[in-house]
Structures are given as C-alpha cells and as structure tokens.
Amino acid sequence: MKNLTGSSIKDLENVALNYGQAAFRGHQIYNWIYNYRNKKKNIDQIEVLPLEFRKKLKEDGFKLSELSFQEKNLAYDGTLKLLLSTSDNESIECVGIPTEKRLTACLSSQVGCPMDCKFCATGKEGLKRSLKASEILDQILFIENEMNRKVTNIVFMGMGEPLLNIDELLFSIRSINEDFKISQRRITVSTVAVPKMINTLSAKSFQILSKCQFTLAISLHASNQKIREMIIPSAKNYNIKNIIEDCKQFVKDTGRRVSFEYLMLSGVNDKLVHANELSNLLKGFQCHVNLIQYNQIDEVEFKRASMKNLQLFQSKLFNNGIAVSFRKSRGLDKNAACGQLRQNSKK
C-alpha cells in the first residue's frame, strides 16, 4: 500500500502506528487526502504532520498520487475535460460536468479500451492496461481541485470497459462511498456488456461492498443484433437478447432498475421501426432508456441524428410504455467525445 489514496481511516491509523506515531496522525492524513481544498499532492507537503514522519514516509515510497496533470479543456458550458499522465507515461481522461446543484465526475477505468466500438475515439489505439483503484480515485481529486468544489455524482463512462477491471472498479466504489461520502445511488457504471460479467458484477458487489445500489447502464445503442454487431464488434460474442435476460436477473438480484444508453446515429438506429423494436425488446421489466446525442469524431463516418428524429423516437418509446429521457451532450466545443482529447494530444 504505497499509494495512500483509497486508504481507509483504519489503514492510515496502522501506517501511523507502524512508524511510532499516534493513531490520530492517520486521521490527519485521511482528512488531507479527501479534502478537495488541499491541492498539494506530495507526502512532504502534508503540513499537519511532523517533518520527520513526512520524510520517512516519502523515503519509503509512500505517495498521495500517481497521476500528474497534462492538459485541460474548458468548454463554454463549464464542462472540464482533463488529460492526466500515469506513472508509466500513459494518458487517461476524466471529465467534470457541473450544474448548479451537482458536479458529476466522469471517470476512466482503463488506459484505452479493447472493445473497439466504431463510434468511439478511445478504442482506436486498443487497450494499454487497466487502472488501479487509486488511479481511478485520483481522477476525482484532480477534478475537485481544478473546479474547486466537491464532486457529488460519479459516472464510469470514460475510457475503458469497467467490467474488464471489475475488482478495482468495486474497490474504488467502496472508497467513493466510504471516503468521498458519495452514496452508491449517485454512482453509475456504464458497460458495453461482457458475457457473464453482469451476473459477476452483482455477486462481487455484495461480496466487496455488502450491497449493490449503484446504477448499471448498458451501452446498447441498437434495437437488434445485426445493428449492434455493426457498430460494436464485440457484440458478436453476446447476443442482445441474452444481455436483456442478464439485466432482468440483475434487477431481481439488486432491486435496482437498469438504464440503457442509446446513441442516436443518423440513418443507422434512429428510425421509428427501431423505436418499436427497442420497445419490444425492453418491455416487461424495470428499466429506463437514455437517448444521447452523438459527439462526432473525424475518424468515423457516423453522423448525429436530427433533433426531429430524436424527438419522434423518444415519443414512440414513451407511447409504447418505455421510460425514456434525453441526455444532451456537454462540452461540444472542446474535444467532447470520449478519448478525443487524448488522441488529439498525441497528434
């Protein structure tokens, strides 16, 4: 445990005791880490600790952060996208999305992504590695430091496939809940869907977290298997009907409704026939559809669906008895698409 971010009070008390310090020194480290007003990220800058204690911690390789600031883009609507460097010289993105009452942190779970979704910039360079829980959590601290306010909501919708890093994902959720004091009900885990991993997610959540109250969001983006395979190559390994069955089981196991993310792509999945197909696929269990405007990227030919088609699609779902909402894109003027800032920076 060299990186102290993600450590509990008990963990940090033990660190202090192991160095012959009083247990309250662990509390001081804890309060320093999770106070967003503390912008100093080095052990030797924790001014409340005795100098010798700080020196020994630093000499023994303890640290508060493995990430470093690389670049940021601030959009006209206040959305902040950060590009951060890892200790092995890779780059990851995270995003702060503010409203008057909340600050949502969009977090990455991997460096790159293996899923190769055709509409996404992140997968163009493949997967480098998965992130440790401490690296996931550090993204929250960077957002809070840069925006000078407390994060209230978390979405795992950044770079990577969370269910391919499931243990570190859940360890980070435990810390978000216990240390950052953010309720699980304000956390969303977004996944393209990986065979057998939806059931594993709920089972491991009860093992690691003792409960499963976060929202599961499936990046469905299609109303049938043929369209889904066209835009998400990995879909050939996981039939859309099997995804729905696993989601129904997730609802039974957790009591939490499932959200389905649906990216509106012009001429691909935005017709009324698709809305009817989607309605038939989802009817009969506790779920919600989130229609999303597409953030276009240069490398692919997909185009954003018209607002007229989006509204007609939404109305058709609603009239068919499906709970539906529309999520407007944020940060459109500043590398809004996932992975776009990282890719443009490399260029």
The greatest distance separating any two alpha carbons of the chain, rounded to the nearest whole angstrom, comes to: 69
Q: 84, 106 in Cβ contact below 8 A?
A: no
93 is catalytic: yes
Q: What is the chain's percent helix, strand, coil content, to nearest 5?
A: 40, 20, 40
Please report, as a single letter, which amino acid is at residue 308.
K
Cα–Cα dist 76/19, whole Å = 48
| H-run or E-run covering 342 | helix 340-346
125 is catalytic: no
Tell me, what DSSP letter sits at residue 48? T
Cα–Cα dist 197/191, whole Å = 10
Which is the catalytic residue, given 106, 113, 287, 338? 338
Which is the catalytic residue, given 13, 66, 93, 161? 93
Query: CA 322 from chain center: how many Å?
Result: 25
Which of these, 301, 295, 289, lies nearest to 262 by C-alpha position?
289
Cα–Cα dist 72/198, whole Å = 34
Cα–Cα dist 163/173, whole Å = 13
Catalytic residue positions? 93, 338
